[in-house]
Amino acid sequence: MINILIPLAGKSTFKTNDANSFPKILNEIDGKLLIERAANAFVKLDFPKKVIVALPKDESKKYRLDKVLSLLSPDFNVCNINGKTQGAVCSALLAIEALELDKPLIISSFEQVLDFDLTPYVETFIHEKVDAGVLTFDAIHPKWSYVSFNENHHVFQAAEKNPISRHAVAGFYFFKTASIFIEAAKSMIRKDEKTNNLFFIAPTLNEIILKEGVVKAIPIDKERYFHINDEHALENFEEAIISESRTAISHINTRTNEYISAFDSKDIGKLEAFFADDFVLTDPSAKVSGKENVIEYIANIFNKAKSLSFKAKKVIVSNEHHSVIEFELNIDGTCLIGTDVIRWSTTGLMLTMDAYLYEKNESL
């Protein structure tokens, strides 16, 4: 079990303006809310988990955030906070009762999007038994948190809003246990280690280091990290998502037409490259699972047919994961009309195909 704690009580988190009556985490970007996109990395994290979102009580009620979060995942729980706090550390400490203190803890944010699989990074932190860990990217702007580390990527200093290196923290903190974070946070508060009169997460790493704990940094691809701190960043993120979606749709369209060509030419070698290992084909006569079995099934159709042609009448790409082929299949003089509904992986492999077909009646 892993604790995941998302403090959402910052001063700017729930700001609204004349153009938008909802806070930025509820902005819709290409059909999905920002909070939905931000939560996705944690929803997909391949560990048993409990996700605690610490929210100001009034805002939680006003925007029905408990309902929104419950629809994202059954792992999500709301911890309501009364009034303002003195920073993310204080908000996190108010959620102590919801944490399993002897289990690992991740602290992150829903005002950013980590657009990649977090599982291997968390596995590394756990496998190496580090006391804490962070994900970093290249930057020098003083708005970020920073760490300095040695050739083993072991952190020896952390700082808030102070570029002590080019290694900015990507809003993701791992702690071996929730207890380790709590003790570090209390120690930091006793020392009154504030930045801009607020207690931030990054300086807790210094408290762990002072007790000879090991803190590891792992660099990430900066292009897959999006911090949405203002309207400009929100617009840039929206542009990036829309551009990526258009590129993905174009790619699926190309792949679909390449599949049509390969099937029409009865090229088993080319067809094999389209299917994922666990590909499932469903047509009126059979349901075939597994790449090898599907290839054998199609090869048998090709071998039995003296003549075969497969022509697309229309190709529709509904989104970056689905395409539809309206086709005419002629086998040994018998003309079949049908539709293939294809689901694609993010890497451009077919995951499933549902084929619907009937014999063409020339009299109609």
* Measured torsion, CA atoms of residues 172, 154, 50, 114, in degrees rounded to the nearest 10: 30
Of 1.10.10.10, 3.40.50.11740, 3.10.450.50, 3.50.50.60, the CATH number of 247-359 is: 3.10.450.50
Q: Residue 363: which pLDDT band, with cuts at 50, 70 and 90? A: very low
Q: What are the angstrom distances between the C-alpha of 267 and each of 295, 342, 349?
A: 11, 19, 17
Dist CA 14 CA 342 (whole Å): 41
pLDDT tens column, 9-55: 666 778 777 777 888 888 888 888 999 999 999 999 999 999 999 98
Dist CA 158 CA 201 (whole Å): 10
- For 222, what's the count of Cα atoms within 13 Å in the CB-facing half-sphere? 8
- On whether the CB atoms of residues 178 and 105 are closer than 8 A, the answer is yes
How do beta strands 275-283 and 350-359 pair?
Answer: parallel
The one-letter amino acid code at 56 reads P
Dist CA 114 CA 224 (whole Å): 6
pLDDT at residue number 275: 96
0.95 surpassed by pTM: no
- On whether the CB atoms of residues 119 and 213 are closer than 8 A, the answer is no
pLDDT tens column, 150-201: 999 999 999 999 999 999 999 999 999 999 999 999 999 999 999 989 899 9
Residues of the chain with CATH 3.10.450.50: 247-359
Q: Long-range contacts for 22-26 (Cβ within 8 Å, ≥24 apart)?
A: 22/63, 23/59, 23/63, 24/111, 24/228, 24/231, 24/234, 25/110, 25/111, 26/63, 26/68
H or E element at residue 146:
strand 145-149
The architecture of the domain spanning 2-229 is Alpha-Beta Complex (3.90)
pLDDT at residue number 255: 96
| Longest pairwise C-alpha distance within the chain | 88
- On whether the CB atoms of residues 37 and 238 are closer than 8 A, the answer is no
DSSP SS3 for 9: coil
DSSP SS3 for 89: helix
Query: Which of 363 and 181 is assigned the larger pLDDT?
Result: 181
Residue tagged 């570029």 (tokens): 163
Quick one: 337 exposed, middle or buried, by C-beta within 10 A (0-12, 13-18, 19+)? middle
